[in-house]
Amino acid sequence: MPQYLKKSTGSAAGSTAAQESVTATVKSVIADIRLNGDAAVRTYSEKFDKWSPHSFKLSQSEIEEIIATVPEQTLKDIKEVQANVRTFAQAQRDSLKDFEIEIRPGVHLGQKNIPINAVGAYIPGGRYPLLASAHMTIVTAKVAGVPNVIACTPPIAGQIPSATVAAMHFAGADSIYILGGVQAVAAMAAGTPTIPKVDFIAGPGNAYVADAKRQLFGEVGIDLFAGPTEILIVADETADPFTIATDLVSQAEHGPDTPAVLITTSSSVGQKSIEYVNQLLEKSNLSTAALAKTSWDAFGEVVVVESLDEAWKLADEYASEHVQIFTKEPREALREMSNYGALFMGERTCVSFGDKVIGTNHVLPTRKASRYTGGLWVGKYLRTVTYQEVSDEKASGELGRLCGRAARAELFEGHARSGDLRASRYLGDKFEWIQ
């Protein structure tokens, strides 16, 4: 029986009334932008971001001027991180093969992976300039072969986020807009005279952006229905409590509703980890301590279990976005666990590596969605389609006979007659309806 040394007291989903308010606001903004296009986009940008430039789209010369203001080390770091992301994404792409087989003489079936034609990448920036989201959404799309990537990011406190623009540019964005929030997502989905319509939207965002993607899903594709960031650590008695605490806090700073969970086989490790978290939040000079403390107090959990077998099972029930493994044999988790967005094995790696630099994608499933989906990857930007050709007359006639029988078993007479026609034409079968 699990023993909770600390249990969550919050609700990550938020109140129903609050969510209904978000949904109503988003619905009205989308409707207005559909009706009034660029004028509505400008109205909401002024209202929400106090931002109304002559053009939301940056020209090439403006991009170059902005990048020139970014410190050289930051530019080098952006390029190094993007090289990591690009290398891993290319390996993913290389794992996907087009193929064609002849399943019987004259019957050819094939599969192709075709890039989406136009993608919108949303790079959030309300609380922090999230350069990494440019790497994850744009680089991956370009490796997939997407020919046109439109990238939007909001101003921060009335200023253009220069490092974010650099990241978007080096990632391969075909056009960059300083535009945020629902107005950016709705404009990319619906299209306006100055913002081309896209087929797919990727990237994280606040509750309003997430709800906009939800409402627009179907009209455009989306990467994921995203919720608050999540971290879960599985630890045994060999784990270092200070490292555990540091990594839990590293994710709690994302927002006020981040679940940060420790499952451990050691009561001592659990208790010491709680003590270290409290020290880091109350007695260190962490600039985001207040926000992280809000999240930890409401959503932090520490659970003690009797064995690693129990730990693996409980961790799979959480189905967390990020799972770190601090055990004597961390790779055991690859065999024992199945529900996670990304797995980080051993104390030499951490979720922050995945968030920022290591190369795997950080757009991952939350709220237990890892039970049925993975995160953003090259394959999300591809449409896996099939094709078929029957080059042999006898094969076509035989398939026609089979189709006729199979369709009539389902009472689909029209389908059956398409089969009959091939059986008649190529095998000489007679049918009353064919004169």
Residues 234/323, Cβ–Cβ less than 8 Å: yes
Which tokens in the block code for residue 44?
């909401």
Provide the total of helices (H) and of strands (E) in the chain, helices listed first. 16, 14
The one catalytic residue in 253, 322, 347, 398 is: 322
Phi first, then psi: what are they for 15, rounded to 5°?
A: -75, 150
Bridge partner list, 200: 119, 221
Strand order in the sheet with 300-304: 3-6, 300-304, 260-264, 231-235, 322-326, 342-345
Which string of b and e fits 178-208 if b means at least 16 CB within 10 Å?
bbbbbbbbbbbbbbbeebeebbbbbbbbbbb
Q: Give Cβ neighbours of residue 398 (< 8 Å, ≥ 6 apart).
A: 423, 427
Strand spans (E) along 184-299: 200-202, 221-222, 231-235, 260-264
Please spell the DSSP secondary structure of 410-434, one letter per residue.
Answer: TT-HHHHHHHHHHHHHHH----TT-
Distances (CA, A) of 350 to 233, 243, 249, 423: 10, 10, 12, 62
CB 124 within 8 A of CB 137: no
Helix (H) or strand (E) holding 107: strand 107-115
Q: Which of 230, 253, 301, 321 is catalytic?
A: 321
The full length of the chain comes to: 435
Find the largest Cα–Cα distance for the chain. 91
Tokens of 305: 């279990």
* 255, 127 contact by CB (below 8 A): yes
Known active-site residue 321: yes
For Cα atoms 280, 233, 373, give the angle at the middle one, nearest 5 degrees.
130
Give catalytic status of residue 322 as yes or no. Answer: yes
Which residues belong to the active site? 321-322
